[in-house]
Amino acid sequence: MSKKSQRRDGRIAAIQFLYAWSINPSDNLERDLAEFFADKEQPRDYYAFGEQLLLGTIDKFDAIDERIRSLAENWDFTRIARIDLAILRLSIFEMLFRKDIPPVVSINEAIDLSKLFSNADAKRFINGILDRLKDQLDRPSRTASIE
């Protein structure tokens, strides 16, 4: 399996976990992760990239949600579909805190994930939010930044 598809599988796992966690958060994240990855097709280390992303997203959860609120003009935050929020949270984490991932890659992945998990209107909404964020970033959008 290619590294690209392994990263995609990691993002898919991260979205699934973040979605479930947004509905039913618990105070035992490590137990929840162990149970979640026990049900996956591949061993847990196969999803290491996705696990890094979801742990980072959870760590920066409040800052990410605040950013979504500021970017989602004329949208009631509580009315954004939970799956779309999971996709936005993961992508915004990547764009703000993972300089090794070019922002356009995060946006393209988010759009592909929205096609997989959400409805047809979601990709336009998600693209609009992430495009606004991309314009606010102080780094190249098509290349990774090395710091």
Report domain extents, the chain.
Answer: 3-136
Residue 1 pLDDT: 57
* Full-model pTM: 0.92
DSSP string, 22-51: HHS--S-HHHHHHHHHHTSSS-GGGGHHHH
What are the 10-residue block averages of pLDDT along the chain, 147 residues in total? 83 97 92 95 96 97 96 88 97 96 96 94 94 90 71
Q: How far apart are CA 108 and CA 92, in angstroms?
A: 12
Classify domain 3-136 by CATH number: 1.10.940.10
Residue 139: per-residue pLDDT: 80
Residue 73's pLDDT is what?
Answer: 81
Going from the C-alpha of 1 to that of each of 16, 38, 42, 80, 104, the distances in angstroms are: 21, 20, 12, 34, 23
Give residue 74's pLDDT: 82
Per-residue pLDDT at 147: 53
Structure tokens at 26: 């618990």
Q: How far apart are CA 17 and CA 14, in angstroms?
A: 5
